[in-house]
Amino acid sequence: MDRKVIKQTVMTTVYGVTSFGARLQIARQLKDLKDFPAEEVDKAAKYLAKMTFESLNEMFTASQQIQV
């Protein structure tokens, strides 16, 4: 899997992408992968969206605090 799968989600977090929107973005990218099983797209998209948001929260804690 390459970074393109979550790139759109990462880039749109500053615009307020929701968890639901992130799952749709990631699912769209997963469907484009030739070797990714279609029956796993929704489950994987949900997991990857969750992990993406958690990672961003961990990496950018200080910058998020000043946005409030």
Give pTM, 2 decimals. 0.85
If you search the block for the tokens 């949900």, which residue do you land on? 46
User: What percent of the chain shows pLDDT beyond 70?
Assistant: 90
Local confidence band at 62 (pLDDT 50, 70, 90 cut-offs) = low
Single out the residue of 15, 18, 22 nearest to residue 45, CA to CA: 22
H/E stretch holding 19: helix 19-32
Local confidence band at 59 (pLDDT 50, 70, 90 cut-offs) = confident
Residue 64, pLDDT score: 58
